[in-house]
């Protein structure tokens, strides 16, 4: 968490870093930044009418799902992970969006009413999606607060601190005040600033689940297994081993690829008694690397989220495990594992008129 008050020296250092990065991208005619600049108008022209207050009563599942896909919003990957939950109650979602986009009230009051961490929230509507909509609908007033922007601001030491139990509306206002100042001083818009956050983090060494290069021989397997995370979250209630656990949410956003100081947790879950479960998908790693990674994440959760009397457990999900893996786990009662199978089958119906050689 950042300091309650951002120091001027920290802000000026961050500003200088961002300006240097931006000028470098422009000087080298960076194709990504050129794409982002050109994509903004396209996205706004397409989706501002869709989410206009006069049209919200007609908002369809298809329109919403379209916006959540990066091929259409041109900016944010991962928003579509929540599409099933978001579209489960369209009336609740439309009501929340009317509040969110009502410019006759302060943004702090609107977000407090929506209360993404409370029971009154539209299912699946967290800060990443809400603020993405805000920057599309009101590009000169609101910036994006998601995992990427928060991590980049923390890296530059300009993420604000929050008082205990401050509501989401006040916290977002604090974050947005810094974003407003940055866009003014950099003479750019929120859309472009959000892109720069990604560039700031791109310079970091990769400390996530891919700590080692994936060999070419394993690449085909990783291409399939990378969808395992989505399968687990979409079928959470059907997996008996996860009964009693819920994906941990922060301001309505699920803790999938949850960023910590020691890497990204694939999925972080919690039960009603505030016990914690770190779920790690084993892909492209040795057994020692996977177990060490899970222990590191468990230690971080214990130090930063868990209470003294609450447990922290680990769950490794792998396609297959070897004897060294089982031997290592035999010395700890806090980590268990599950394996999965992939079944892909094509069947030709009888009497099918298929071409043959």
Residue pLDDT, tens place only, 309-323: 899 999 998 878 888
pLDDT on residue 217: 40
**Nearest residue to 162 (alpha-carbon basis) of 271, 250, 272:** 250
Dihedral, CA of residue 234, residue 235, residue 239 and residue 244, to nearest 10: 60
* Of 16-25, 75-84, 226-235, 275-284, the least confident: 226-235
More confident residue, 353 or 150: 150
- On the question of pLDDT at 196 being above 80, the answer is yes
Q: Can you tell me the distance from the alpha carbon of 319 to that of 231, in angstroms, rounded to the nearest whole number?
A: 14
* Averaged pLDDT, 108-124: 75
- The total of other beta-carbon atoms located within 10 Å of residue 294's CB is 25
HSE at residue 310, side-chain half, CA atoms within 13 A, is 18
Given this structure, which CATH class describes domain 216-339? alpha beta
Task: Say if strands 263-270 and 246-247 run parallel, antiparallel, or are unpaired.
Answer: antiparallel
Q: Please give the full DSSP string across 101-159, using - where no structure is assigned.
A: T-TTS-HHHHHHHH-TTSTTSPTT--HHHHHHHHHHHSTTT----SHHHHHHHHHTT-P
- Run of H or E including 60: none
> Looking at residue 33, what is its pLDDT?
81
**What is the distance between the alpha carbons of residues 27 and 199, in angstroms, rounded to a whole number?**
15
pLDDT for position 207: 38
Model pTM score = 0.72
**What pLDDT was estimated at residue 186?**
96
The full set of domain ranges for the chain reads 8-202, 216-339
Length of the chain: 357
CA dist., res. 113 & res. 94, Å (int):
14
Residues 6+ apart with CB under 8 A from 162: 1, 4, 170, 171, 174
Tell me the C-alpha distance between 1 and 307, whole Å.
Answer: 18
DSSP 8-class letter at 214 = P
């Amino acid at each position: 968490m950042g300091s309650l008050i951002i120091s001027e020296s920290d802000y000026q250092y961050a500003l200088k870093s961002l300006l240097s990065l931006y000028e470098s991208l422009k000087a080298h005619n960076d194709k990504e930044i050129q794409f982002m600049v050109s994509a903004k108008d396209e996205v706004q022209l397409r989706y501002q009418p869709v989410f206009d207050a006069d049209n919200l009563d007609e908002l369809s599942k298809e329109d919403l799902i379209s916006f959540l896909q990066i091929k259409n919003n041109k900016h944010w990957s991962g928003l579509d992970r929540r599409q099933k939950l978001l579209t489960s109650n369209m009336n609740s979602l439309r009501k929340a969006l009317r509040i969110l986009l009502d410019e006759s009230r302060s943004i702090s009051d609107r977000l407090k009413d929506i209360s993404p961490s409370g029971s009154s929230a539209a299912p699946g509507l967290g800060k990443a999606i809400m603020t993405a909509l805000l920057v599309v609908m009101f590009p000169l007033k609101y910036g994006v607060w998601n995992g990427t922007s928060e991590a980049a601001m923390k890296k530059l030491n300009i993420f604000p601190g929050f008082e205990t139990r401050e509501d989401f509306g006040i916290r977002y206002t604090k974050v947005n005040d810094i974003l407003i100042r940055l866009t003014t001083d950099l003479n750019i818009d929120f859309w472009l600033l959000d892109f720069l956050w990604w560039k700031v983090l791109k310079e970091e060494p990769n400390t996530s689940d891919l700590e080692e290069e994936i060999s070419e021989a394993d690449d085909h397997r990783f291409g399939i297994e990378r969808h395992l995370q989505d399968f687990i979250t979409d079928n959470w209630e059907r997996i008996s081993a996860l009964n009693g656990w819920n994906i941990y949410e922060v301001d309505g956003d699920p803790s999938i690829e949850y960023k910590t100081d020691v890497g990204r947790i694939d999925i972080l879950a919690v039960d009603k008694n505030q016990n914690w479960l770190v779920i790690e998908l084993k892909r492209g790693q040795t057994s020692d690397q996977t177990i060490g990674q899970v222990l590191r994440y468990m230690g971080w959760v214990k130090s930063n989220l868990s209470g003294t009397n609450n447990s922290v457990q680990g769950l490794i999900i792998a396609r297959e495990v070897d004897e060294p893996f089982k031997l290592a786990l035999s010395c700890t009662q806090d980590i268990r594992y599950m394996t999965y199978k992939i079944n892909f089958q094509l069947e030709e119906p009888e009497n099918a008129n298929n071409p043959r050689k």
